[in-house]
A and B are shown apart, each in its own frame.
Chain A
Amino acid sequence: MVTAWLILFAPLAAAIAILLVAIHRPRLASTLAIAGLGTSFAATVWWFLQALHQPMLLPSETSVNWISLPNLTIPFGILLDQLSLLMALVVTGVGSAIFIYSTGYMAGDAAYSRFFGVLSLFAFSMLTIVLSTNWIELFMGWELVGFCSYLLIGHWYAKPSAADAGKKAFMVNRVADFGFLLGILALWAASGATPAERTFHFHTLQLRLPLLAHAGTIAAGTLPVIGVLIFCGPMGKSAQFPLHVWLPDAMEGPTPVSALIHAATMVAAGVYLLCRAFWLFEGVPQVLTLIAWVGGLTAFLSAGLALVENDLKRILAYSTLSQLGYMVMALGLGGRVAGMYHLTTHAFFKALLFLAAGSVIHGTHEQDIHKLGGLWRSMRWTSLLFLIGALALAGFPGLSGFFSKEEILVLAHEHSAPLYWIGTLTAGLTAFYIGRAWCVAFLGHPHADSHSGHGAAHESPPVMLIPLALLALLSLSAGYVGIPRFLGEHAEEFHWGVAIISLIVVGLGLGLAWLIYYRRAISAQQLAHALALPHTLLQHRYYIDDAYTWYVETIQQRLIAGLCAWIERALIIGLFVNGIAWLTQTAGRVLRRLQTGVVQTYALVFLLGILALLSRVFAW
């Protein structure tokens, strides 16, 4: 079991060590971070191999008492089963590649050590989510990753847009996590009649909830409400509509952060949570339907946004949203395996795409795809690796993304016709936008005024390219290693009809992108002109950001804050503070007239007082 604890705490030890001794020693900091996560990765691999040889080892759980209160004990533990092991493997594996890449990408950064310290802390937090045995432990990790995400988005905090993006991410997640925490507490309250019986523990809840629901102890409407509340968490963390707005802005962070946190791992935590707590959602089909539709709409709408975006990283961010939508949709349709499968392959190819984009940014200091162009000549390796990632994302046959996306589409085909068509259409859009990004940025001619101030584009150093190559290898091969089989459940059958339709759609998408953006057979401007209405809608991002801005500025700042300000000014300051002062002052002004200074007035008052006293005495 020591190895299990090692998985979790090696990155934390690295983070603490960096904070204590390496904050001014960049080389030591990155070494410590890589050593920490590497240890964690090795321990995960060790467990993975053990589990392959002896499947009986799983699930394995170990825990210590973390919080002990009367009637409430919360353990801090490690739960290793197929699900958590696969996720831990993704986190530590992709994480290690990205850590190594970062040593090249972040070289010379002023806050190099802090970057690696927070990255290590993030790895620990993420593994806490993955390996947690109960809701409270998971929630702690959940908040910690949010915090690390905030720190890393705002890594270049002197840039106002980065600082704002960090705040935005934090705020949006705050809204979502409020619902999530309510859900956790409601679930706890429903899990037993007396406080002593109640529990946060996953496994106990999994066994107990059906019994309680069957016995009628839990009211009929309770579980759906809990389900929706808990789904708020994934909606924020995995950036589902309408809480997706923070993820594109999160691209202000350094690219390795975008790759690790905002593509491969943290944003997938929501999907992981849905898998982890699938027993809860299984019992409430109406919530599952909601989840499926939220996922499906997110997939489709975000793919649309990626069509008109010009920033390379933001295209990938919208693509991440869209793919997360696929996963959530799969979960909503009851496909744990399909969802986790796509999560895994997506982690590989999306990390690859982001790191390749980072390599481009590193080489050219430019993110606008229209100002790039012709990179195929100057950055051969990066272009090739980006292409592999792009094809995997598009679902090119034989690559990992193809297999996992097929699983989801087959699942949708079986359960819901509208969602199937939305998914298929999204696959076409995906192929189109990634084809567009590739054609515009990597093919064609270098833009006239591009790279002007920075010299010619240059290929990145091997320390950045090797992790890319490893991820490309994984993106190519992850479809063949039997991930669904490891998860131990029946995977969807391969369906020829679905495969052929999706291939046609993907081919159309890629072909159109090729025609429009490479051959220039169709003018992009004329197309945008012809489709003016949807184009405007997309360019304004469905006006969702504007709606939030309107809400915050008008409702919150003007109306609610105005009301609060009025209450403070009129009631608290006006009535209570100044009112009491006024009362005292006025009373003083009136009462001081009594002090005439004439000694005989005092004598008269004295006399009257005595007469009053005497009259009391003699009245009795």
Chain B
Amino acid sequence: MPSLLFSTPHLAWLMISPTHYVRLSAVLFAIGLMGLMTRRNVLMILLCIEVMFNAANLAFVAYARAWGNLDGHVVVFFIITVAAAEVTVGLAIAILLARQLKTLNADEVRLLKW
């Protein structure tokens, strides 16, 4: 229900609509993606992936709210769960890299190249 404060037309730009959430989500996703592409540290890459996950979560939640639908919320819980598992595996890989190759630089890890 709109309050008096926000009902005046010239203050309409202060309204936080789903568009704002989606834009924030896109910005977050792009930041994560840039990090993913540019960072060399495995831990940082994992963190960037995490940022991208949460950008996606934000978009889901925003749409779920906008449409009054619970599906988006459900998906977010799934993503959080999967992300937790993914981080577990990713960190395990990072630990192994540190132990075996004594490095966390992704560029130095190219055992699978031709």
Contact = CB atoms under 8 A, between A and B. Distances in A.
Contact of A596 (B36, B37, B45, B110): B110
Contact of B106 (A593, A600, A604, A607): A600
Among A592, A593, A595, A603, max chain B CB count under 10 A is at A603
The prevalent SS among residues of A at the interface is helix
A595 B106 contact: no
B109 interface: yes
Contacts of A597: 109-114
B67 to A, nearest CB: 21
B114 A593 contact: yes
Nearest to A599: B106
Interface in B68-112: 106-107, 109-112
B22 interface: no
A597 to B, nearest CB: 3
Contacts of B33: 607
Interface in A587-601: 592-593, 595-600
Given A598-B106, A598-B107, A599-B106, A592 B37 contact: no
B36 A600 contact: yes
Interface in B28-69: 33, 36-37, 40, 45
Contacts of B107: 598, 600
Contact of A592 (B40, B45, B110, B114): B114
B75 to A, nearest CB: 19
Nearest to B39: A600
A599 B109 contact: yes
B26 to A, nearest CB: 12
Nearest to B42: A599
B113 A595 contact: yes
Among A595, A598, A604, A607, max chain B CB count under 10 A is at A598
B110 A598 contact: yes
A595 B37 contact: no
A573 to B, nearest CB: 29
Interface residues of A, number: 11
Contacts of A604: 37
Nearest to A589: B114
A569 to B, nearest CB: 33
A603 B45 CA distance: 11
Contact of A603 (B36, B40, B112): B36
A152 B40 CA distance: 88
Nearest to B106: A599
Given A598-B106, A599-B106, A599-B109, A607 B114 contact: no
Nearest to B36: A603
Given A592-B114, A595-B114, A603 B109 contact: no
B113 A607 contact: no
A595 B113 CA distance: 5
Contacts of B114: 592-593, 595, 597
Contacts of A600: 36-37, 40, 106-107
A603 B37 CA distance: 7
A611 to B, nearest CB: 11
A221 B114 CA distance: 73
A595 B111 CA distance: 11
Contacts of A595: 112-114
A593 B106 CA distance: 18
Nearest to B33: A607
A600 B36 CA distance: 7
Contacts of B37: 600, 603-604, 607
Contacts of B106: 598-600
Interface string A574-614: 00000000000000000011011111100110010000000
A599 B45 CA distance: 10
A592 B113 CA distance: 8
B111 to A, nearest CB: 7
Interface string B9-39: 0000000000000000000000001001100
A490 B85 CA distance: 113
Nearest to B48: A603
Contacts of B45: 599
Contacts of B113: 595-598
B44 to A, nearest CB: 11
Contacts of B36: 600, 603
A603 B111 CA distance: 17
A278 to B, nearest CB: 81
Nearest to A595: B114
A604 B36 CA distance: 9
Contacts of B110: 596-598
A597 B107 CA distance: 8
A500 B114 CA distance: 101
A493 B85 CA distance: 118
A607 B36 CA distance: 11
A600 B109 CA distance: 11
Which 10 pairs show the lowest CB-CB distances between chains A and B? A597-B113, A597-B110, A592-B114, A595-B114, A597-B112, A599-B106, A596-B113, A598-B110, A603-B36, A595-B113
10 contacts: A593-B114, A595-B113, A596-B113, A597-B112, A597-B113, A597-B114, A598-B106, A598-B107, A603-B37, A607-B33
Given A592-B114, A593-B114, A604-B37, 8 more contacts: A595-B112, A597-B109, A597-B111, A597-B112, A597-B114, A598-B106, A598-B107, A603-B36
